[in-house]
Amino acid sequence: MRTICIVDDDRVYQIATRKMLERISNAYKILVFSDGQEAYQYIIENVENASALPDIILLDINMPNMNAWEFLDAYAEMKPSLQKNITIYVISSSLSESDIQRAKKIENVKEYYVKPVTTEQYLKMLDAV
């Protein structure tokens, strides 16, 4: 079973995204974290357990404790020790061109999506893995 990791501090978004993903496919385990630090800690704790690592991370930009940019910096450092390739999508309400361009320049980010994300966009993400 593949795993999707939702990293977002907005509880409503977490619930809505989980429900939409479950409606699209029941072939995914869904993990939810409220900030980048929680997700980063989970990955560190499972660095040698590839089956526990997510296949996809849906990453919000603005979060407490560790935002997306800080998470992506930390992820880049730990990536060589991971036993699994993780696909990361930045998903944000930010329409800022600087945020979009910054995300596009980061090697570990597959794509940037602006909320709300459509069913078709989620399907595209799942098909890419």
pLDDT band at 129 (very low <50, low <70, confident <90, very high): confident
Q: How much of the chain exceeds pLDDT 90, in percent? A: 95
- Exposure string for 79-106, b = 16+ CB within 10 A, e = fewer: eeeeeeebbbbbbbebeeeebbebbeeb
| Mean pLDDT value across residues 24-38 | 94
Q: Is the pLDDT of residue 26 over 90?
A: no
Structural domains of the chain sorted by starting position, each given as residue range(s) with its CATH number in brackets = 2-127 (3.40.50.2300)
pTM to 2 decimal places: 0.96
Q: Tally the C-alpha atoms within 13 A of residue 16's C-alpha that lie toward its C-beta.
A: 11
User: DSSP letter at 2?
Assistant: E
Q: Chain centroid to CA 58: how far?
A: 2
Structure tokens at 41: 């800690």
User: How far apart, in whole angstroms, are the C-alpha atoms of residue 38 and residue 51?
Assistant: 18
**Model confidence over 67-114: pLDDT tens digits?**
999 999 999 999 999 999 999 999 999 999 999 999 999 999 999 999
**Model confidence over 113-123: pLDDT tens digits?**
999 999 999 99
pLDDT band at 128 (very low <50, low <70, confident <90, very high): confident
| Mean pLDDT value across residues 34-42 | 98
| Mean pLDDT value across residues 49-73 | 97
